[in-house]
Amino acid sequence: MTDLVEVRPGVYHDSVTLMRVSQALTARPEVAVAVVAMGTDLNAGLARDLGFEVPPTTPGDLLVAIRAATSADLGEAAAELERQLATTGSGGGKARDEAPPRTVRSAARSWEATVALVSVPGEHAFAEALDAVEAGLSVMIFSDNVPVEQEILLKDRARARGVLVMGPDCGTAVVGGAGLGFANVLRPGPVGVVAASGTGAQQVTCLLDIAGVGVSHVLGVGGRDLSAEVGGRSAVQALRALDEDPATELIVLVSKPPAPEAARAVRDLGLVTPVVAALLGPGQDDLTAVAEKALRALGRDVPEWPSWPAGEAPAREGRRPLRGLYSGGTLCAEAALIAGADTTAEAGFVDFGDDAYTRGRAHPMIDPSLRREALRGVASGVVLLDVVLGHGADPDPSSWLAPEVRDAVARGVDVVVALVGADGDPQGLRAQAARLNEAGAAVFTSNAAAARHARRLADG
């Protein structure tokens, strides 16, 4: 084996782009392993753990580490690396006719912006978001691992400035038809959504889209907004904004069970626009039932949600273990409630999008490696997992999941997939479903229906 290790000072590309470059190189038959990443301590340590001799790096350096069978193979891989980086359109230190803005505030002045998207490591998000708020911008904070004290300060300052903070850990928003973060391609329509859950909002809005009903706006507020500490600060602002929006005829509020004080804050607003609440928890409606309530409130018919059953499996007697391998936290919690599963035990349900799993790595909607390893480790029983489509997500999730499904089915494992997406999504909702179904999975567009089916299989 032959190694190539380079440190390129001052060359920046975003982490998602670099992860995909690494995956493309590793997929080449002559390449054993490739790490193309910013030179953080975590990434440099990962390369050293793989046996590369890595010189000192800084987070502002681009780290390249490639191992191939021969020098000729390594040369071809290096050439492919340059081709990949040349098409990313980011970084690289190329000269420009005009120097780019160096701060959020200067960018707001240069581009006449109204919304800023902050997606930096959590320890740096506060400064950038505060800069946006002070510049008079609403801000979506995609970053996670932001301390709650900073979240409260940002939201109080935003309220004083008359702008909205969406997040931290806000994965999904649609503002005036423009999708931010993990965003499905949704038709315009009369439903406004306020969501303390990204994948919860995606499930509801995708079901509405399948039923022919679109959205006006989807305003994510971050998973902690309705906690006792944060008290619904952004949810209150977002609900009032949608209530004043003439294009919004119905509001859907999506959240895990709120703290009592946060529930009072959002309940006592005296809104004119009707609100349908999706508050996940024991005794509450599941997300599919909430979408159906919204349709009925608008006078629309509830369709039969598309599903693709698996081929008839051999009869299996007795109760079998049920594992949940999820990328969406709210989808995971909903499925565990329906299936009666443990979300903490090793043999229960796991949310791979939780902060504990995303520190230093891309979200599992983008990077499937942890879930792939977990699926390979299931020797028997039933596996339930979500696949979330849309912009920002894996461009072709069935390309890696279908082979894993075939292998799992061959081991005697039943695989059930909750496929969350809209017909307009770039991955192709029905094409993804067909490939996963052909591999042996039972596929449902309703996460609740998928969980009930998985529980029936596990119960025998």
- Looking at residue 360, its pLDDT comes to 63
Mean of per-residue pLDDT scores for the chain: 90
- CA–CA separation, 179 and 424 (whole Å): 13
Q: Which residues contact 177 (CB under 8 A, 6 or more apart)?
A: 188
- Residues whose CB is less than 8 angstroms from the CB of residue 74 and which lie 6 or more positions away in sequence, other chains included: 2, 3, 4, 66, 67, 68
279-303 mean pLDDT:
94
Q: What is the pLDDT of residues 185-236, one digit of tens each?
A: 999 999 999 999 999 999 999 999 999 999 999 999 999 999 999 999 999 9
Residue (of 17, 335, 86) closest to 203 by Cα position? 335
Residue at token pair 């902050």: 118
Residue 16 in this model has a pLDDT that exceeds 80: no
Report, as an integer, the average pLDDT of 16-36.
85
Categorize the per-residue pLDDT at 313 as very low, low, confident or very high, splitting at 50, 70 and 90.
low
* pTM reported for the whole predicted model: 0.85
Residue 83 has pLDDT above 50, yes or no: yes
Q: For 66, phi and psi rounded to 5 degrees?
A: -130, 135
> What's the pLDDT tens digit per position in 174-188?
998 899 989 999 999
In this prediction, residue 165 has a pLDDT band, given cuts at 50, 70 and 90, of very high
- The mean pLDDT value for 304-315 works out to 86
Least confident of 275-284, 301-310, 373-382, 415-424: 275-284
Q: In what order do the strands lie in the sheet with 165-166?
A: 115-118, 138-141, 165-166
Q: Is residue 460 pLDDT above 50, yes or no?
A: yes
Asked if 213 contacts 300 with a C-beta cutoff of 8 angstroms, the reply is yes
Whole-angstrom Cα Rg for the chain: 23
Taking every pair of C-alpha atoms in the chain, what is the biggest distance, in angstroms? 71
Kindly list the structural domains of the chain, giving each domain's residue range(s) and its CATH number in brackets, ordered by start. Answer: 2-86 (3.30.70.60), 104-297 (3.40.50.261), 307-459 (3.40.50.261)
Question: pLDDT tens, 318-359?
Answer: 789 999 999 998 999 999 999 886 544 444 899 998 877 776
- Token duo for residue 460: 């025998």
The distance of Cα 428 from the centroid of its chain, to the nearest Å, equals 17
What is the per-residue pLDDT for 60?
Answer: 84
* pLDDT greater at residue 32 or residue 421: 421
Burial of residue 289 (CB within 10 Å: 0-12, 13-18, 19+) is: middle
Q: Which of 444, 314, 311 is CA-nearest to residue 452?
A: 444
Tens-place pLDDT, residues 349-408: 999 988 777 766 678 888 888 899 999 999 999 999 999 999 988 889 999 999 999 999
Residue 90, pLDDT > 60, answer no
Q: Say what the pLDDT of residue 331 is.
A: 94
pLDDT tens by residue, 40-76: 887 888 889 889 999 999 988 999 999 999 999 999 9
Which tens digit of pLDDT belongs to each residue from 112-150? 789 999 988 788 899 999 999 999 999 999 888 899 999
Q: Hey, how many other C-beta atoms are within 10 angstroms of the C-beta on 279?
A: 17
Q: What pLDDT does residue 93 have?
A: 41
